[in-house]
């Protein structure tokens, strides 16, 4: 199971990649996409929408199941990954790169400390 060292994680199987200026990309992990199977639809939030940590900000659907997406930290949406509207399978083929789901502006960077590192997430992502 691929769990990049450089990312932060949640127990809900989302990853967060910190960019500059308190911006970040959020997606679902390789473990999550593998559990869901072929992803057929990703519901993206609107630009400018604000969420608190733990809020549902979208849905990932596969043939087998629909799974809510939870915001890892308080944040405002900069943009959703428009590529996923036509090619949701990118979440399967490239969960940590092309398959990112939303770009956010982090409201309270101190919350980042509450996220899991790769080693801690690896404990959760066991079958």
Quote the CA–CA distance of 74 and 72 in Å, as a whole number.
7
- When asked if residue 63 is in the footprint of other proteins (CB under 8 A), the reply is yes
Is 7 or 84 the residue whose CB approaches other proteins more closely? Answer: 84
Quote the CA–CA distance of 37 and 21 in Å, as a whole number.
34
- When asked if residue 92 is in the footprint of other proteins (CB under 8 A), the reply is yes
> Alpha-carbon dihedral of residues 36, 37, 39, 45, nearest 10 degrees?
20
Residue 50 β-bridge partners: 76
Cβ at position 66, least distance to other proteins in Å: 7
Window contacting other proteins (CB under 8 A); options: 16-24, 34-42, 47-55, 96-104: 34-42
Is 20 or 126 the residue whose CB approaches other proteins more closely? Answer: 126
Among candidates 39, 37, 29, 36, which has minimal Cα distance to 4?
Answer: 29
Residues at the contact surface with other proteins, assessed by CB under 8 A: 37-38, 40-41, 43, 61, 63-64, 66, 88-89, 92
């Amino acid at each position: 199971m691929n769990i990049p060292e450089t990312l932060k994680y949640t127990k809900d199987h989302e990853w967060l990649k910190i960019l500059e200026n308190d911006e970040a990309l959020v997606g679902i992990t390789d473990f999550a996409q593998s559990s869901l199977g072929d992803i057929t639809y990703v519901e993206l939030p609107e630009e400018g929408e604000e969420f608190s940590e733990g809020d549902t900000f979208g849905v990932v659907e596969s043939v087998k199941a629909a799974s809510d997406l939870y915001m890892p930290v308080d944040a405002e949406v900069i943009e959703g990954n428009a590529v996923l509207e036509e090619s949701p399978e990118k979440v399967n083929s490239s969960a940590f790169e092309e398959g990112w789901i939303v770009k956010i502006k982090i409201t309270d960077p101190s919350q980042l400390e509450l996220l899991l590192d790769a080693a801690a997430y690896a404990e959760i992502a066991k079958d």
